[in-house]
Amino acid sequence: MVSYRMWLKVKEVKRNCCKSLSWLFLAAFLFSVSSSGCAWWKKKEPDPTPQVLYEKAMIFFNKKKYESAAEAFKKVKEEFPLSDYTLLAELRTADSYFFNQNYAEAIVLYEEFKKLHPLHPEVPYTIYQLGMCHYKQMRTLDRDQTETEKAIEQFRYLIENFPQSTHTTGAKTRMQACLRQLADHEFYVGNFYFRIKRYKAALGRYQIILQKYPDSGLEWKIKPLIATCQTEIAKEDQKRKENEAREERKKKEREDKQKSKKLGWPTPANPFYFSI
């Protein structure tokens, strides 16, 4: 009798253990499904559109995260090369480099955009930005002014070819600043020559300012300096002529002396010398 009861007790324990294990397996299964995001019944997200990618890139751009913005704009071009947003993405990529002060890369991309899309309405903006790339790289008055000249070239092209553009006013303002920079550079170099008394070189620089940059506002400073240069140059010329005349007389005297020796004529060193 005891053995039978023990057998029933063991059987009941085994049955309870099986139920517990079943519940554990079920709980583990449900946990794994939920942790995987319920992939079996969750709806698949749609692929991003060109507009979505472009707007995400603009978020980086507006937050001044220009490196991330450039990469995001490139992704628009790579994934949707035929989209209308691709052209804008190309231009914004160049802008990202520009605002990140990577002007060399920006110039390449702006030039490429202008070349590939010559009729695009953003071409005037592209030309203005090309000018600004050079404008931002202008050097001090005592250094080479190649970047200043390149900036003027771009701004002038914009003004002459797109006079109705909204960027033309800004181009005119920037170009005037560049012209003043070149005038100040010539004035700086002219003053350097003036200080070391190279008056002809100084005069040439001052005259360039009056001829090429008449609106520089430097005329009142230059004119007295030009007058001084001309006076000093006249003195130098007079002194040079006097020296040349003196050397010419000495040369003639040497020639006469040599001629007299050959002919045996009296000379000032000879006691029988006489002059007519």
Render pLDDT for 89-114 as a digit per residue (tens, 0 to 9). 999 999 999 999 999 999 999 999 99
SS (H, E, C) 264-275: CCCCCCCCCCCC
- CB count, 10 Å around CB of 135? 23
Query: Are the CB atoms for 147 and 160 separated by under 8 Å?
Result: no
pLDDT at 39: 44
Distances (CA, A) of 8 to 4, 17, 19, 20, 76: 6, 14, 17, 19, 73
**Bigger pLDDT: 43 vs 263:** 263
Q: Band of the pLDDT at 24, cuts 50, 70, 90?
A: very low
Q: Are 205 and 190 in contact (CB under 8 A)?
A: yes
Q: Assign residue 275 a region: left if phi > 0, alpha if psi is -120 to 50, beta otherwise?
A: beta
Q: Does residue 155 have a pLDDT over 80?
A: yes
- The predicted-structure confidence for 124-144, as pLDDT tens digits, reads as follows 999 999 999 999 999 999 999
Report pLDDT for 13.
Answer: 45
The answer to whether the beta carbons of residues 175 and 159 sit under 8 Å apart is yes
* Tens digits of residue pLDDT in 161-208: 999 999 999 999 999 999 999 999 999 999 999 999 999 999 999 999
Q: What percent of the chain has pLDDT over 90?
A: 68
Task: Give, in degrees to the nearest 5, the angle at Cα 202 between 201 and 203.
Answer: 90
Q: pTM for the whole thing?
A: 0.73
Domain extent listing, the chain: 48-102
Q: Look at residues 19, 36, 98 and name the one whose alpha carbon lies nearest to residue 113.
A: 98
Do the beta carbons of residue 127 and residue 114 sit within 8 Å? Answer: yes
Single out the residue of 99, 85, 88 nearest to residue 133, CA to CA.
Answer: 99
CB 132 within 8 A of CB 101: no
Q: Determine the pLDDT at residue 46.
A: 66
> Taking the mean position of all CA atoms in its chain, how far away is CA 226?
35
Q: What angle do CA 15, 17, 21 make, to 5 degrees?
A: 120
pLDDT at 33 over 50: no
- Tell me which of 21 and 76 has the higher pLDDT: 76
Alpha helices for the chain (secondary structure H): 2-35, 50-62, 66-79, 84-99, 103-116, 123-135, 146-161, 168-195, 199-212, 219-263
Residue 25 token pair: 């397996």
Q: How far is CA 92 from CA 183, 216, 223, in A?
A: 35, 36, 49
**Residue among 195, 197, 219 at smallest CA distance from 207:** 219
* Between 46 and 49, residue with greater pLDDT: 49
